Structure formats: C-alpha cells, structure tokens
A and B are shown apart, each in its own frame.
Chain A
Amino acid sequence: MSKNIIIDGLTVPFQEGQTIMDAAMAAGLYIPHLCHNPEFKPHGSCKLCTVNVNGRNVASCTMPAAEGQQVLNDIAELNAERLALTQMLFVEGNHLCPACEKSGNCNLQGVAYYLGMMSPHYNHFYPAREVDASHPDILLDRNRCIYCELCVRASRDVDGKNVFGLTDRGIMTRLIVNATSGLLGDTSLAATDKAAQVCPTGALLVKRKGFAVPIGSRIFDRHTIKDVQTGGSHE
C-alpha cells in the first residue's frame, strides 16, 4: 500500500525517503523554491519552499514526507511570506535586471513574477560586492548571488572540484572560490562543469553567450515559473 500526505486538500503519494518537495514535484504540484534543485542534495537555506505541516512551518525541500502530514502550501499567508523573502533577496544584493544577461531566464525573477512582486518594498542595501571577470569563459558577479550554494554543491558533489564556498557570516556572507588569489580564473572551473550551469540567477554566467534569445522571448517572458518547474524542465 502506498503512503500519502495531503497537500492543500489533495492526496499525494510518496515513497520512503522522499521529502515533501519531492512528493509535490512528482505529483506536478508547485511549491515555490530557489535553493532547491532536484538534481542536488537538499539545502534548505532560501526558505521560499516553507509550507505549514500540521500547524508548524517547515522547509518542504528538507522535510521528509510522513504519513499523516496535512500540508498547506498555496495559501495567501504563506505566499505573502514568500514574497517578503523574495523581496529580501532582491534588496540585500544589487539586481539591476534590465542590465542582466539572465533577465527573463532568472529563477529569482521567475518567483518574483509568480508571487506578484510589484516593488522591492524594503530599502535597498546597495552592498559593495565584487565582480570577477578573470576567468576566460565564466563571469562571476557577486551582486546577484543569493547564497543558494547550488554552485557549491554542484562543484563538490558532481564535478568533484570544490571550486566554490562561502565565508564570513550573517549579512556579510560572501561567495569565495578555491584559489589563493581569490580569482575564478585561477581555479579549475571549466565552462562545461555542472557548477557553471546551475546558478538560478545571473551571478554565474558563461561568457560569449549573451542575448542568444532576445529579451521578451525568454523563459519567464512566456511561461510562469510554476509551469516551467512542474513541467520537469529545470533551467
């Protein structure tokens, strides 16, 4: 007999070892998320995927599914909180979307559209963050980093290279690369590495691929992130 959880009134089957996010995705249900990518070990840092389980908020990407869970997901209160988190991610960095190559394909934008974000709401922090163009094929623009650690996980777990990591803490948290010089050009990162492909924002971009698809015809110009991510395509 298969086991089930209830998400917004729907019965959703799950297998032992799956998280709530896994079960929802398998059933074609969308739970907003940024740091989660089903190809990698769950991380649980962005908190966009927060759902309410039997009265308690938990991150659905890390919480194991278990019989008897009554999950609230697509409800106004949670979506408002997710919107606030998205706005926080925008103001803590420098996201000049019109000037960003990722614009239209960016998951941060994608969830912002989905959640109906009309303004950043909070005051911008305008932090001073470093851009690293030292690598011949890859650009690292820390202004757009949301600390999802997808590049960290991809480099460590898939590429076996450990090119990325985080240092400092709190609001001073910074993405660093594995080189004494601190420069991406001095690491072993290659444009074909998984780590160079996974960034949900425009923080890590493969060079010389600029504007292959014109703005206006890009992923989130044509589809909602919900449709894209429940259709199994993970950009």
Chain B
Amino acid sequence: MQQFEFSDISRMLTPILARHGGDASRLLQVLLEVQDACHTIPSEAIDHIAAHFDVPRVNVEGVAGFYSFLSTRPVGEYRMLFSGNITDQMLGKDDLMQYLCNKLWVEPGKVSEDGLVSVDSTSCTGMCDQGPAALVNGWPLTSLDQNRLDLICELIRSRKPVAEWPPMLFEVVDNIRRSDALLGEPLVPGNGIRAVLTRGAKETLAEMDKSNLRGRGGAGFKTASKWSFCHAAIAEEEGSVICDINGHPERYIVCNADEGEPGTFKDRVLLNSYADLVFEGMTVGARVVGASKGFLYLRGEYRYLLEPLEKGLQKRREAGLLGDNILGKAGFSFDIEIHLGAGAYICGEESALIESLEGKRGRPRNRPPFPVTHGYKGRPTVVDNVETFACAAKIAEKGGAWFAAMGTAQSTGTKLLSISGDCASPGIYEYPFGVTVRQILADCGARDPYAVQVSGPSGAMISWKEFDRKIAFEDLPTAGAFMVFQRKRDPFQIALNFVHFFAHESCGFCTPCRVGTELQKKIMDKIASGHGTASDLEELKSLGHILKTMSHCGLGSSAANPVLDMLEKFPDAYERKLKELAFEPAFDLDGALETARKITGRDDDWAHL
C-alpha cells in the first residue's frame, strides 16, 4: 500500500489549499481534491488541512468520514463504483460487477493487493436510462456490458490514465423523449432577466405568485411564498444585522442539484443542455429576494458536468448576465459558485445541503429556524430545485398567467419525469401536470407493466390497479422518478434494494433512523434468505411507524415507504417467502459452530446441532 511522507503531503496540499483560500466552507472541496490525488485522505493531510483552516482535527476527520466518495483508508488507484439502483440491478449490475471482480482478481468492497483497483457499489448515479452504470474515479461509465468491461480491464491493467480512456465509454445522452413548455422552446439568455428589470422585482414576485409554481424537489412548497419569506427575513448574527452595500441583509440563492433520489435524472439533463435556463432562474430569484451570491450544489456523481457548467457561467459573465451591474442595471450584482457534493443522499435535504455548503457533515438542522430566515452562514437563504429555477426563468419571461394555464389548478405547469425500468424508451418526458400513469406507460412503451415507483424509494409504489391515477401534487406528487416494473419482477426485491439504500444513506444523527433503517434492512435480509416469519412482518410495520413518526428529517420518515407499500399492495411478494413457523431465529446456531468445527477438524454428529 502507498505510504505518504509528510513532505509529499505538504507538497501536494500547498497548491490545493492556496487555490481554495482560508474559508472553512471550502473544506469539502479541498478533501475531494486530496482524495483524487491520493486515493484516500491521509491522516497527515487531515492535520495539515485542520491547521490551514484553523478548525479542530475532529471536524476535518468528521467530514472525511461522512461522505461516501471520501475515504480515510486507501481505495484503488482505479476505483470502480457500480450504480446500485434497482434499475441497474435489473439490467444485470450484480453479474457484471462480479464479472469484473473475477477478471481483476479483486473482491467486491476490497482493494486489490497491489492497490491498483477497487470495485464496489454506490447509490444510484443518475444514469438509469442508460445503465448499467458505474463511476471510475468519479467519471460516469454508461451502458456497461461484458465487452465494455473487458476493455476497461485492459485499460486498468495497462494503467492508462482515466483521462485517456476512449470517450465512447463516458458517453452520456440526454434521451429527451417528450418536450413541452420547459424543454420545447429555448430561452434566449437574458430575456428572463430583462423582463424582470422592465417589470420590477415586486411585480415579478406577483407573477410568480400568480403562476402558482410549486417546488419541483418533492415537497411542493409554493415558490413565491418561499421567496417572499426570504425577502422579508432579517438575518441576525450576534445581535447585529449583516447588510450588503445597499443596506439589505445578505441573502443567498441556492440551487439544489443533489438529485440523489434513486431513479431521478432530469436535473442531469437540465444542467447538461439547459444550464442557461437554470442560471437565469437563479438570477431572477436573486433579483426578487435581493441576493448577491448564489450556489449550485452539484452532486458528486455529476462531477463530469463541473467544467461545462463553469464555462457556461463564464459565458454569462462575459455577456453581462452575471457579475456586477447585470445588464447595465446599476447595483444589480449576482454571481454563482459551484460546490461539489461527495456521495451523500442526505445532502439533498435543504438544511443538510447548507451544512455541506459550509464544509461540514451533511446533517439536517433543527427547524425552526428554517433556511429562509437562517440558512447559509445564518443568513436568509432560498433553496430550490434545479427544475424550479428553470420554471421561474420561463415565468419571468412569459408571465404567471401563461404558466398557470397549464396543468391542474393545484399543480400548475409541467413536470419533467425521469423514466426508467421496463420500457422501450427510457428517458426524459415532460408532461403538463394531471397526466395519468396509464398514458405515460403507453408513451414510454412499458412492457406488461405491473408496478411503478413514483418519486423514487421515498415516494410511492403503485400497483397496476392504480394506473388511472394522475401525476399531480393532489394525487401522485413526484420529484421526477418514474421506474417501471413488469410482471415478472419481484416487488420484494425492489423493496429490499430500497431498504439497503436508506440504511446506507441515513446520516446517523437521530436514533429512529440510524437504528431503525438498519433494523429494517436486517429483517428484510432475513426474509430474503428464507428465514422470515409472520412476526417479522409485524415488526416491519411497527418499525415503519416509528420511522415515520419519530425521525428528524424526511429521509427517516420516508424510509419505510417501500416496505409499507409492498406489505399493503403486493402481499404475494412476501407471503411465499415466509416460513410456516411463527418464530424463526435470526441467528443460525449451527452455522455459528462452523468456525469451531474447522479449528477442531471435527464434523461428526456431536459437532452439529
């Protein structure tokens, strides 16, 4: 294994630290670069970084341990992380991963003896429409099959730098299958902002209000209300109000591009092909609430979009759409900084996201106070989803009435769906709200559909009996995931996958979720291995109740949804897996004696139970 001398570490760190400056909010960004350079976060580097930012060592170690993509133990020089979503599994992920491991002589989850390669699973990487997918040193690999893995094996064995691998391995396509108001007609960059400047900020807020736009990140909070709360908020820090040059309290606009919900990939497409629309929406928001600084929190899995997005920002600066005196308006200053995540679903939760932006462990805050009054660095902060900002830009340009005319009364406008699973044409579909599941299934060429997971593991699993339900906040609310399952799929396996996801992503802060998600996983594993009994079902139900009612944040409170939906809607799925017995121990007594038998070399009857 690679050893690092202190002088090497400091030589490696000096330019990184110089580039990021002294504000501790850059900590996570620094750690990402160290991980890239060393394939681990060496202990000496932790000391060095702590000294640089003047924070305790425990804080740096705490952050280094929190995020999946950072590791305090070395990973392979080539780190292959297979996307573990159920859609990747259905496309053969498990076999492919084993195939690669066999070829490279490495066990899943371990590092090869020469330190060259490690292979493991990771949570959904957002490539469900072109899976099975993986990340190699953070770069997305799509449409994997044995041929591609053979090639990858060769590249790794010959130690070819990832930057020199054939580009075709990294091809990510948009797969836009249905466009409507948002994706249909492109916005001329600047037109949204121009409309705001002509109309006025207050009047634009009124248009937002009229549009009845609701947040696209899942919770469906009315965007105009959020913006006006933030505008009205006074941030207090040690009793004094921190103001910008115009005497306004400092405020922030944050775009939530964490997109961690398995099965969701519409923000990926917006950021890839409609980034101007998103930046424009953020600038409109900045004008309305009076913010001069914005952040885009980009999930680590989308690191490959960082450079193109930076270029996009630069272009906007050059066009006078970002920076000082935007479009010539004196005093209208706004700029956007991109922060990378590092593999933590919880960082999509808005207050955990803010903690992460501040360079900390992504742990949800106690609320109240809410981010709109006490957000980033304690100041009023708007956190909105990527798609919400895209809608806002369109509303700024075309007005609230135009937007409100689409969709349903309670769910205006359109919604981007990320469709994957058992269908002929996976990809992005934009529909006006109110569309039925049945219509969507027909459009995407679903094959013998049996169930659909709407809005990912934290959403709802609906059965074929519910296909006439509508995508809308008042019926089936969704953050965008739409995973199709055909009849031959086993709903139990789907729930099992999701239960593992939640246990892996729990931040560990609160008891119900930290322990409850793990208990849920253990019981589901027990049933999967053929040892389940009727009492386990009761246990799952009562755990579900505790997760729902006692958890600190939305992760814990929705972590039981997949199990509860399965129990309610797909009883066959688990009943045939249960033992007749009322009680079956979770612990295999005879199996536990195996080690003793090996040591003593016995295998007679008396050595068995």
Chain A contact residues, CB within 8 Å of chain B: 42, 44-48, 50, 57, 59, 62, 64, 81, 84-85, 88-89, 91-92, 122-123, 125, 146-147, 162-174, 176-180
Min CB distance B533 to A, Å, is 13
Chain B residue, CB-CB nearest to A89: B511
B65, A168: Cβ atoms closer than 8 Å? yes
Interface contact A166-B56, CB-CB below 8 Å:
no
Q: Contact check, B505 vs A170: say whether CB atoms are below 8 A apart.
A: yes
The answer on a CB contact under 8 Å between B511 and A47 is yes
B503 pairs with A169, CB closer than 8 A: no
Contact residue among B47, B65, B503 (Cβ-Cβ distance under 8 Å from A174)? B65
Asked whether, in the complex, the Cβ of B552 is within 8 Å of the Cβ of A169, the reply is: no
**Roughly how many angstroms separate A180 CA and B60 CA in the complex, as a whole number?**
11
- Give 15 new A-B contacts, CB below 8 A, not counting A165-B62, A174-B65: A44-B510, A45-B509, A47-B512, A47-B552, A57-B550, A81-B545, A167-B62, A167-B66, A168-B65, A169-B344, A170-B514, A171-B508, A173-B514, A180-B46, A180-B47
> Whose C-beta in chain B lies nearest to the C-beta of A122?
B519
Contacts of B344 in A (CB 8 A): 169
Chain B residue contacts of A122, Cβ below 8 A:
519
Across the interface, do A178 and B56 meet the contact criterion of CB distance under 8 Å?
yes
Set of chain A residues within 8 Å of B506, measured between Cβ atoms = 169-171
**Cα–Cα, bound, A64→B367 (Å):** 10
One digit per residue, 1 when the CB lies within 8 angstroms of any chain A CB and 0 when it does not, for chain B 475-514 equals 0000000000000000000000000000111111111101
Taking the nearest CB of chain A, how far is it from the CB of B411, in angstroms? 24
The verdict on B439 contacting chain A, using a C-beta distance below 8 Å, is: no
Nearest to B505 among chain A residues (CB) is A170
CB distance from B562 to the nearest CB of A (A): 17
Find chain A residues with CB under 8 A from B36 CB: none
Chain B interface residue number, banded: 35 or more
| Bound CA–CA A176/B516 (angstroms) | 23
The chain B residue sitting closest to A41, CB to CB, is: B366
Partner of A88 from the list B66, B366, B515 (CB cut-off 8 Å) is: B515
Contacts of B58 in A (CB 8 A): 162-165, 167, 176-178
Nearest chain B CB to A83 CB, angstrom units: 10
Binary contact readout B539-556 vs A (1 if CB under 8 angstroms, 0 otherwise)? 000100110011110000
Contact A123-B587, Cβ < 8 Å, known A165-B58, A165-B59, A166-B361: yes
- Flag if A92 contacts B515 (CB, 8 Å): yes
Is the beta-carbon distance between B519 and A169 smaller than 8 angstroms? no
Q: Which residues of B are interface residues toward A (Cβ below 8 A)?
A: 43-44, 46-47, 56-59, 61-62, 64-66, 344, 361, 366, 368, 503-512, 514-519, 522, 542, 545-546, 549-552, 586-587
Question: Would you list 21 pairs from A and B whose C-beta atoms are within 8 A, ordered by A residue?
Answer: A42-B366, A47-B510, A47-B512, A47-B550, A84-B542, A85-B546, A85-B550, A88-B519, A146-B511, A147-B509, A147-B514, A162-B56, A168-B66, A169-B506, A169-B507, A171-B503, A171-B515, A173-B514, A176-B61, A176-B62, A179-B57
Question: How far is B504's CA from A203's CA once the two chains are assembled, in angstroms?
Answer: 25
Instruction: Look across to chain B and name the residue whose beta carbon is closest to the beta carbon of A34.
Output: B511
| Interchain nearest-CB distance for A94 vs B (Å) | 14
Contact A169 B549 (CB under 8 A): no
Residue of A nearest to B545 (CB): A81
Q: Is the CB of A123 within 8 A of B522?
A: yes
Bound together, the chains give a CA A159 to CA B515 distance in angstroms of 31
Q: How far is the CB of A164 from chain B (nearest CB, A)?
A: 7
Are A81 and B546 in contact, CB atoms less than 8 angstroms apart? yes
CB distance A178 to B504 under 8 Å?
Answer: no
Q: Closest CB-CB distance, A222 to chain B, in whole Å?
A: 28
How many Å from the CB of A37 to the closest CB on chain B?
16
| B63 to A, closest residue via Cβ | A167
Chain B residues within 8 Å of A170, by CB = 503-508, 514, 517-518
- Cα distance, A115 to B264, chains bound together (Å): 42
Complexed CA–CA distance, A76 and B59 (Å): 40
Q: Which residue of B lies closest to A164 (CB)?
A: B58
Q: Assess A46 versus B66: contact at CB under 8 Å? Given A85-B550, A125-B518, A180-B57.
A: no
Bound-state Cα–Cα, A89 to B513, Å = 11
A64 adjacent to B550 (CB under 8 Å): no
Q: Which 4 residue pairs are nearest across A and B when measured between Cβ atoms?
A: A165-B58, A167-B65, A162-B56, A88-B515
CB-based contact A44/B507 at 8 Å: no
Cα of A57 to Cα of B549 in the assembled complex, Å: 6
- B518's partner among A81, A171, A176 (CB-CB below 8 A) is A171
Please give the distance in Å from A18's CB to the nearest CB on chain B: 14
A44 to B512, CA, bound (A): 12
Question: How far apart are A93's CB and chain B's nearest CB, in angstroms?
Answer: 10
Known: A42-B366, A45-B509. A81 touches B550 (CB 8 A): yes
Residues on A with beta carbons closer than 8 Å to the beta carbon of B505:
170
CB neighbours of B66 from chain A (8 A): 167-169
Q: How far is the CA of A147 from the CA of B514 in the complex (A)?
A: 11
For residue B356, give the distance in angstroms from its CB to the closest CB of chain A: 12
User: Are A81 and B549 neighbours in the complex by a CB distance under 8 Å?
Assistant: yes
Whether the Cβ atoms of A171 and B514 lie closer than 8 Å is yes
Residue on B with the closest CB to A92? B515
Question: Whole-angstrom distance between the alpha carbons of A167 and B61 in the complex?
Answer: 6
Given A92-B518, A162-B58: A64 in contact with B552 (beta carbons within 8 A) = no
Residue of A nearest to B519 (CB): A122
Q: How far is it, in angstroms, between the C-alpha of A94 and the C-alpha of B586 when the chains are bound?
A: 18
Q: Closest approach, in angstroms, between the C-beta of B362 and any C-beta of chain A? A: 8
- A169 close to B361 (CB less than 8 A): yes
Report A152 CB to chain B, min CB distance, Å: 8
| Alpha-carbon gap, A164 to B545, bound state (A) | 33
Collect the chain B residues with CB atoms within 8 Å of residue A50's CB. 549-550
- Residues on B with C-beta less than 8 A from A163 are 58
Q: Is the CB of B550 within 8 A of A169?
A: no
Q: Identify which of A44, A85, A147, A171 gathers the most chain B CB atoms within 10 Å of its CB.
A: A171
Closest beta carbon of chain A to B434's beta carbon, Å: 30
Give A171 to B46 CA distance when docked, in angstroms.
23
Interchain nearest-CB distance for B506 vs A (Å): 4
B206 CB, min distance to chain A CBs, angstroms? 30
Distance in Å: Cβ of A231 to nearest Cβ of chain B: 26
With a cutoff of 8 Å between Cβ atoms, the chain B residues found around residue A125 in the complex are 518
Closest residue of B by beta carbon distance from A85: B511
Residues of A within 8 A of B56 (CB): 162, 165, 178
Given contacts A123-B587, A176-B58, A180-B47, contact A62 B366 (CB under 8 A): yes
Roughly how many angstroms separate A217 CA and B232 CA in the complex, as a whole number? Answer: 58
B292 to chain A, nearest CB (A): 30
Closest residue of chain B to A82, judged by CB?
B550
Contact in complex: B517, A59 (CB < 8 Å): no
List the A residue with the shortest CB-CB distance to B557.
A57
Q: How far is the CB of A104 from chain B (nearest CB, A)?
A: 23
- Tell me the complex Cα distance, A89–B510, Å: 11
Using CB atoms, name the residue of chain A closest to B539: A122
Query: Residue on A with the closest CB to B57?
Result: A178
A64 touches B368 (CB 8 A): yes
Contacts of B59 in A (CB 8 A): 162, 165
A165 and B61 form a contact (CB under 8 A): yes
Across-interface contacts of B65 in A (CB, < 8 A): 167-169, 174, 176
C-alpha gap A28/B410 in the complex (Å): 47
Residue in A closest to B543 when the chains form the complex, CB atoms:
A84
Q: Which residues of B contact A179 (CB under 8 A)?
A: 57
Q: How far is the CB of A167 from chain B (nearest CB, A)?
A: 3
CA distance in complex: A123, B518 (Å) = 11
Q: Using Cβ atoms and an 8 Å threshold, which residues of chain B touch A81? A: 545-546, 549-550
Task: State A62–B58 Cα separation when bound (angstroms).
Answer: 25
Q: How many angstroms between the C-alpha atoms of A6 and B169 in the bound complex?
A: 63
